[in-house]
Amino acid sequence: MEVSRFSRGESIFGLPLSVPHAVKAGLLSRSRLLAMQALENIAGQCQLSDLYIVTALSLDENPSLRELAWEVVSKILAAAAPEQLPLIDTRMRTYALEVPGEFAELTPPPAVMGSLSFNRSGYLREQAVQRLAGVWTGEELPFLLLRGRDWVPEVARIAAEALTARAGKVEYGPRFAHNLGLIAVLSRSGQPRVRELAALLERQCLVGEGRAVLADYLKGKDKGLRRYAADICEKSDQALLVEVGLRSSDPRLRLKAFMAMLSLDSGVEAFASGSGSGSGSGSDFDSSFINLSQISYRTFLGDADPAIRVEALRKLQEVESSEQLRDAAIAALLDRSGRVRLLARYILKDLDPFAFYLDRLASTRVTDPVLPTLLAALLECGKALPQSVLTEKIEPLVLSGLAPVRAGAYAILLDETANPGPQAPGSVEKVNLFKDCLLDGSRHCHKVAKRLLSGRGRRQPGFALDDRDLWQVFCRAPQSPAAVCAIAAIARSRRWQSLPYLLEARWLVLKRGQNELVLATVDNALMSLRSEYAPTAQERQKCLAALENYGSALSEGMRQRLLAMLG
């Protein structure tokens, strides 16, 4: 029996090695008495880290020792979840402890054959899979699923044929469903034949009582398996997806369920009449779908997911008259989501949304929760606000105690279309206002300033801060997110003009305290410097002076690189 890494006392599966050295030595000794005593000690704990060394004794010529090893292996694997088996399978093959002998006339339990199917020897795996293919109790299923993606073609073929044979049995529906995590592993394979096998098994998860098991996955806490089960239902059983998914707290699952309900040819009433396209028609779930026929699409206008609210409003546009839809569309004009507001404005073509929002603003208090949404909606209209509204209503809001309100006010006042006003773009007033927005401590205002400064978003800002203004922002709050935003903007300007600021920023940050984001921004900017064009004499003089004053904050390699680029 060959022992390599195992004999050096390394842990298995990343877990602490629970087998003491004396016990391990007993298992590997020639004395059957010592091996039996060691195995009895392991049997008292049945740790996952003991699995490999106990598996080595499962084909031992001593019947007592062999049968005790079978018992221990069965206990260990019974305690392991199906989702753990791929990792166990991978780790078992990383150790060179060979299992002696062949199956011959032995009839090990399915768990033992499954453990032997993890062996690095393809010949032994093939024997194990052949034996597992003859077992029809359901215990063999996890191991066959793992071997369905085996890299040895013969092993994979035997496993695939065994799985295909079981796919036609109704009683195997719940058994496949209980091993959904292993089917998911097959579905992610890069081999088309393995993915085709996974697709076949996915459909079998919905056969018979497997449908109820899949419903439990849809309600489960494991997000990955919950969404994988939803994908299966979306393709093969929309009835189950709608029944369970509409009540889920998972927004993605709820959206899938809502879209499945919309896609049914005859609507929700089809389920009530039993003519739905889901494969579970006639099951215990059908009675629950009678309640779905009473659901109004209007109830989904209040869903937490804006994607569902959009689809619900679009569906109402199809099934209701303009008069019936008008009240819902008017309410949607002040929805929290811009997507919903956009659709509402499209539906209400005879209504001037800008006038509607201005009228609503006149009667809205500063503490009204709808105020941030109202400010965002006004900006979306792309029209200039009256100067009286800007002065009397919007400008005082920058002093609000609510960050979303301040952010909405800054966004309007800094927008070149909403506030052209007497303040020309780039004027001192707007620059100072922009600095206030950038230095505001809230993430809402910082997001507005960052969008305008980077030029991303619905339109260009119409003004730009020069490097001196940005440097003032950095110096006023070097530890704030505004500092990172200011340094990033400096780095995007003309490179030889920005270099002195970047060098001083790095020196100041290292001197006053670490700000990892500023350091990373400066370092990325310095690494991206190229010498496509030479600096002017004035730029070169300033850069050399900065290197002399703040070069100590750079590595020697970076300092020499910059000197070489400056000539």
DSSP, residue by residue, 493-537:
S-HHHHHHHHHHHHHHHHHH---HHHHHHHHHHHHT---SSPPPH
State residue 478's pLDDT score: 75
Q: At which residue do the structure tokens 């869903």 appear?
A: 303
Q: Are 411 and 379 spatial neighbours (Cβ–Cβ below 8 Å)?
A: yes
Which of the four pLDDT bands, split at 50, 70 and 90, describes residue 140? Answer: very high
Burial class (CB in 10 A: 0-12, 13-18, 19+), 195: middle
Per-residue pLDDT tens digits for 444-468: 888 888 787 765 544 444 456 778 8
State residue 336's pLDDT score: 92
pLDDT more than 70, % of the chain? 80
Q: At which residue do the structure tokens 């400056």 appear?
A: 566
Distance CA 490, CA 473 (A): 11
Packed helices 238-245 and 251-263: angle between N→C axes, nearest 10 degrees = 130
State residue 340's pLDDT score: 94
State residue 40's pLDDT score: 65
Which of the four pLDDT bands, split at 50, 70 and 90, describes residue 8? Answer: very low
Quote the distance between the C-alpha of residue 395 and its chain's center: 40
Q: Are 65 and 98 spatial neighbours (Cβ–Cβ below 8 Å)?
A: no
- Identify the DSSP state of 419: -
pLDDT of 68 > 60? The answer is yes
- Model's pTM, two decimal places? 0.70
Burial class (CB in 10 A: 0-12, 13-18, 19+), 330: middle
